[in-house]
Amino acid sequence: MKSFTIIIIISCLSFSYPLFTQDAPDFTITDTHGVEHNLYEDYLDQGKTVLIDFFFVNCPPCQSFAPTLQGLYEHWGAGQEDVQFFSFSTKSGDTNFHVLGFENNYGLTFPAAGSDGGGLDAASPYINGMFGTFWGTPSIAVISPDGSVNYNVGTNPDNINSAIAATGATGGMEVSPEPITIQISIKDQYGQTIPGVSLALASSAFGSNSFDISTDDQGQIIIEDFENTFGLSDPVIKPSKNDNHKAGITTLDITLSLRHILGIDEFDTEYPLFAADVSGDGKLSAFDLVLTRQIILGIIDEFPNVEAWKFIPESLPIEIEPGSVNQLEFIGVKMGDTSF
Spans of all domains in the chain: 20-165, 180-334
Bond preceding residue 138 cis, omega within 30 of 0: yes
How many Å apart are CA 336 and CA 246, to the nearest integer?
Answer: 8
The residues pairing with 180 across neighbouring beta strands, listed in sequence order, are 223
Closest CA to 333 of 206, 248, 213, 219: 248
- Blockwise average pLDDT, block size 10, the chain, 340 residues: 34 34 91 97 97 97 96 95 97 97 97 97 95 93 96 91 94 79 91 91 74 84 81 88 94 94 92 94 94 95 95 93 92 91
> Under a CB-based contact definition with an 8 Å cutoff, are residues 147 and 66 in contact?
no
pLDDT at 17: 32
Q: How far apart are CA 44 and CA 148, in angstroms?
A: 10
pLDDT of 189 reads 83
Residues 6+ apart with CB under 8 A from 269: 189
**Residue 185 identity (one-letter amino acid):** S
Name the pairing type of β-strands 180-187 and 198-203. unpaired
The 10 Å CB-count burial string (b at 16+, else e) for 78-110 is bbeebbbbbbbbbbeebbbebbbebbeeeebeb
According to DSSP, the residues that pair with 151 across neighbouring strands are 141
Read off the DSSP letter of residue 30. E
- Taking a C-beta distance cutoff of 8 angstroms, is the pair 303, 315 a contact? no
Contacts (Cβ under 8 Å, ≥6 apart) of 300: 291, 294
Q: Measuring CA to CA, which residue among 45, 194, 34 is closest to residue 114?
A: 34
pLDDT at 11: 31
252 contacts 337 by C-beta, under 8 angstroms: no
To 10 degrees, what angle do helices 286-297 and 251-261 make?
170
| pLDDT attached to residue 204 | 78
Exposed (0-12), middle (13-18) or buried (19+): which is 248, by Cβ within 10 Å?
middle
| Identical topology for domains 20-165 and 180-334 | no
Per-residue pLDDT of 165-220, as tens digits, reads 999 999 887 666 788 999 999 999 888 999 999 999 988 766 557 888 888 877 78
What is the structure's pLDDT at 10? 30
Number of C-beta neighbours around residue 203 at 10 A: 16
Q: What confidence score (pLDDT) does residue 20 get? A: 45
Q: Which CATH class is domain 180-334?
A: mainly alpha
Residues 6+ apart with CB under 8 A from 63: 102, 106
The long-range contacts involving 130-134, CB below 8 angstroms and separated by at least 24 positions, are 130/19, 130/22, 130/25, 131/19, 131/20, 131/22, 132/20, 134/54
How is 157-198 classified by DSSP, letter by letter? HHHHHHHHHTTT--TTPPPPPPPEEEEEEEE-TTSPBPSS-E
Distance from the first to the final alpha carbon of the chain: 79
Note if the bond before 313 is cis, omega within 30 degrees: yes
Class of domain 20-165: alpha beta
